[in-house]
Every structure is written in C-alpha cells, then in structure tokens.
Homo-oligomer: A and B are copies of this chain.
Amino acid sequence: MHPFTKRFHESVSALGEEKLLAAIRHWLGTVSPRAPFGIGDDCAVLPAARGRQLLTVDPVIYPRHFNDSVPPRAVGAKLLKRNLSDLAAMGGRPTAAVVALTLDARVSRKWLEQFYRGLAASARRYGVAIVGGDVAEADGVVAASLTLLGKAQGRRILTRTGARVGDWIYVTGVLGGSLRSGHHHDFAPRLAEGAWLAGRPEVRAMMDVSDGLAKDLHALTPRGAEPALAATDIPRRARATVANALADGEDYELVFALAAPADRVAFARAWRRTFPRLRLSCIGRFVRADRLPGGALRLKDYRGYEHLR
C-alpha cells in the first residue's frame, strides 16, 4: 500500500492535528495508557525501576525500511520489533516506548491507521506500553523512530564485549534473503531466547544480526582475533547463497560467543529442550588473527549493509 494519497479528504492533513492525535490514541487503544502515565502531557510518567534499565532507538523510513509492497500494519510491527531485537540481544524485556512520527501532509489516513494498528497489536503481544510520542510534518517524508525502554529479565545483561580467542560462535535461525522472503518485517524478535542465553554463564557475549553477519560479527570479535567460519556451516534461508547469508542484513537473529571450555553437547541439548523449533548453529570459532585456517571465509569480501554509502 502506497502511503500517500492524492485526495485531500483522505489525507492526514484533512484531519488536522487535534483530530489526528485523538485518532492515534484510538488506534493504539489499550497499549496507550492515559496521561500522565501515557500520551497527553508534557512527559509520560513511568514507575521506578528497581534493576538496571536498557534503552535503544531505531527508525523505519520510507522507502529504505519499507516500500509499497509491505502492508502498513507490518511496518508498524517492524518498527517495534527492530527495537525488541536490540533488547533481546542483551537479554532484556521491554517496558515502555515513545514514537516520533514525521509525515508528509499527503500521507493517507488509512495508511497511518493501519500502521498504528500494527504497532498496537505488536505492542500488546510483547507487553510494551506506548507512553508518548510526537507528530511533525516534513515534505516527502514518511518516517517513525521508536525509543524503547526495558530491563534485564534475569540478573545478567549480556553485552557485545567478553568473547575470547577459542570461543565458539553460534547463531540462531537462518540467514539471508530477508528482503525477498518478507522476513525483514515478518519476524519474531528473539526475546525469550536472548533472556535464556543471558542466564547461561557459558555465553560470554551476544548481539543481534541486523546489518549482515559479515559486518556485525566484527563487534563481537576479541582484539587480535578473527572469526574462523566455514561456508558450509552458515545456516541459510531457502534460496539464499552464502553471500546472501553473510551480507543481506535484516536477519534479526542472535549471534553469540560460547566459552571455549563449555560442554557444547549439554548446551545444545538444553537449547533443544527449551527452544525445540528454533535452529541453533555453531558456525565457527574465534582464532588468533595470524592463525586463520586456509579454508575460512574471508569476511571482508562480504561487506554487509553499510549505511550512508
């Protein structure tokens, strides 16, 4: 569905600001608490937070993160789920979110309604309160940026730092072909998996795969080391090549480092018991940079998704 309309009476501009804000609250429904705990005051009021908190922000922008072929409900859901994936990567669970919307005045009311209904459905499903936001106008733009607040599910927050030379590299699910398959909007953020992994002491570092494994894995790699991956071990989506799996991006899977001395058989068994339907693959290990085996993938040849190029 195309976000713009040529008919003025179908546009958000025809509604005017006050009615638009009322409509947004209506579309969000129960996931949007009443002010001062939600939309409608200068700030939203949130309860005290006992443990450490997590904060992340990610946008969806037309036509970069969605195009006319993506249903607006899926766009709204994607906006939230991209952020949930970041939270999952640290073992967190979500609490509240705010949305900053930037719209051309010709955006259709129908498109926007579906966008918010999709966001609301996804927020309900994952237990996120949409507590505030802003609507601004800009010519030719359809963009929304969501800031997500969360907290650790267990005692541990898992960061990208901590992997060591010798550690095994694991990835959840399958990679590549995200755009073609629709996975880029039709995915489930790995919240339960991330929390479970953060509770396992043998998992040393974790992140989500969003810009392509070849690019993202760099951030998990210890200083002086290289990831040694074999092409045959990379789990690929149907019809995806190794290059697709390494560089396409928008996989929203988790990649993590398992301590070298860990009992990998027991770990794999525990995973299967907990997540019997989600594939887990050991794709290689971190080795000293000067000891990269001959057959290992040269990740520099697969650039991954680079912004601003």
On A, residues with C-beta under 8 Å from B are: 12-13, 15-18, 20, 35-36, 40-59, 61, 64-65, 86-87, 89-90, 92, 96, 98-100, 102-103, 105, 131-141, 143, 145, 147, 149-150, 157, 159-161, 207-208, 306-309
Chain B residues in 8 Å Cβ range of A46? 52-55
Q: How far is the CA of A92 from the CA of B46 in the complex (A)?
A: 12
Chain B residues in 8 Å Cβ range of A136? 59, 61, 64-65, 307
How many subunits of this chain does the assembly comprise?
2
Chain B residues in 8 Å Cβ range of A159? 35-36, 41, 45
Contact, CB under 8 Å: A16 / B54? no
Contact, CB under 8 Å: A17 / B161? no
Chain B residues in 8 Å Cβ range of A47? 52-53
Q: How far is the CA of A92 from the CA of B12 in the complex (A)?
A: 33
Identify A43's interface contact among B43, B44, B56, B161, CB under 8 A.
B56
Contact, CB under 8 Å: A57 / B161? no
Query: Please, which residue of chain B has its CB at the minimum distance from the CB of A54?
Result: B43
Interface centre among A49, A57, A64, A102 (most CB of B within 10 A): A57
Chain B residues in 8 Å Cβ range of A53? 45-49
Known: A137-B64, A138-B141, A207-B42. A17 touches B55 (CB 8 A): no
Contact, CB under 8 Å: A160 / B42? yes
